[in-house]
Amino acid sequence: MRKLLLFIGMSALSMACSSDAATSDDSSSQGLVTIACSTTNEITVTRTDVNCTIPTAEEFSLRIEGISLQYDSSWQTIAAFNADNYLNAGSYKAVVEAGDITEEGYDKATFRGEQTFTVAAREQTSVDIKAYIANSLVKVDLTDNFRRYFTGGWQLTLTTAAGNSFDVSTPSDQPIFMAPESFSITGKATKQPNTSGGSGIEVVLPEMSRDRLAAQTLYTVTFDVSTAGGATLEILLNDTPVESITIDNELNDNAQ
């Protein structure tokens, strides 16, 4: 985990894009606000760190929304903040974000964090925000049994809800970062011939899909052939099996 200390002052006149101003600009009703932001590349459940590029302080945008009063201001970069900024007394929510959730792929992590806070008049308020990985992550693994059974090779394609496709035929240690929505995997493979010297038999693997993905979660999809005459597609979430699909009927000499 890499901590980025961002001490930021806030005022309605500090290069922000404000759609609504606070209800009062009386300095006697204002308080000084400082924000400290930290990032973590930890994945939930397993509590392990994932290898990805950690954003710098300058890459985080910031948005402040009023809760108890009308206020909404945003800044494209943290560096745009002035160190001597104030907010009117009241409750707020701060949101920090780095990256673009629509840009999916390897090492395409988006970080996001939010924190509510309350400003008291003529007092200093310190706000600590931790930014987490906002993506879902997917990896594809193939067992040795799968590789031995499909001696003629295989082609696997992962498609996200946004329509982005990735060739996952060759497993990678790096996960694919995607929006936390859904994905599907389709493919075909060529199994060993029934007779010596015969041609390999190409079969279409059944589509595997998963929806309602969670952010900051790694999904590992494992393809396995459990027996010589059949195949089992096993889905694992954080190394825990959550679903098995038997595809014996697809793996036969007549499959197209």
pLDDT range class, residue 146, cuts 50, 70, 90 = confident
> Is the Cβ–Cβ distance between 41 and 54 less than 8 Å?
yes
pTM to 2 decimal places? 0.80
pLDDT number for residue 77: 74
pLDDT range class, residue 88, cuts 50, 70, 90 = very high
Answer whether residue 48 shows pLDDT above 90. Answer: no
Helical ranges in the chain per DSSP H: 144-149
Q: Is the model more confident about 225 or about 236?
A: 225
pLDDT number for residue 170: 95
Over residues 160-168, the mean pLDDT reads 97
pLDDT range class, residue 198, cuts 50, 70, 90 = low
pLDDT range class, residue 197, cuts 50, 70, 90 = low
Mind listing the domains of the chain with CATH numbers?
Answer: 2-133 (no CATH), 136-250 (2.60.34)
pLDDT number for residue 10: 37
Closest CA to 247 of 184, 186, 160, 170: 186
CA distance 117 to 68: 11
Answer whether residue 195 shows pLDDT above 70. Answer: no
Least trusted range by pLDDT, from 32-36, 160-164, 249-253? 249-253
Over residues 117-140, the mean pLDDT reads 94
CA distance 64 to 66: 7
CA distance 193 to 197: 8
pLDDT number for residue 83: 56
CA distance 200 to 188: 12
β-pairing verdict for 17-20 and 72-75: antiparallel
Q: What is the mean pLDDT of the chain?
A: 81
Answer whether residue 254 shows pLDDT above 50. Answer: no
Over residues 16-42, the mean pLDDT reads 71
pLDDT number for residue 107: 96
Percent of the chain past pLDDT 70, that is, above it, reads: 74
pLDDT number for residue 169: 97
Residue with tokens 């060529």: 190
Highest mean pLDDT: which of 36-40, 98-102, 241-245? 98-102
> Is the Cβ–Cβ distance between 131 and 40 less than 8 Å?
yes
* Angle formed at CA 31 by CA 25 and CA 34, multiple of 5 degrees: 125
CA distance 220 to 50: 13
Q: Is the model more confident about 102 or about 14?
A: 102
